[in-house]
Every structure is written in structure tokens, then in C-alpha cells.
Amino acid sequence: LILIFLLLLLATTEILNSAIEVVVDRISMEIHPQSKFAKDLGCASVAMIVLMNIIAWIFAIASIWH
């Protein structure tokens, strides 16, 4: 159940990241440090959830094998 929750959390985070990118691009296509920072934070949040998923799946698979 936790693994399913983490996968849904990953999908939700990716959707929010895409929304952030669309809004930033809609406001202005100019390169701006704050726009880059907002996109980088969205990307970092997705990366953190991916890492959480990897760790959880490793523990789940390891517990099945033992």
C-alpha cells in the first residue's frame, strides 16, 4: 500500500512540476533567474520523490528475498 502511495505521489509531483513550468513559460519566455529557480525547485521535488520510490522499492524487494 505504501509503494502504491509513493507512486501516486510521484505522479502528482510530476503533474505539479509540469504546471509550474507551464505557468512560468506563460508569464514570460524571457530567461530570468527567478523563473529558472522556480523550474529547478519543481525538478528537485520530482527528483526527491523518485529517490524515495527507489529506496522504498529496494527495501520492499529485499524484504521479500529474505
**Residues with catalytic function:** 14
Cell triple for 13? 509531483
Q: Which residue's entry shows cell 526527491?
A: 48
Cell triple for 9? 505521489
Q: Which residue's entry shows cell 505539479?
A: 16
Which phi and psi (to 5°) does residue 30 adopt?
-65, 150
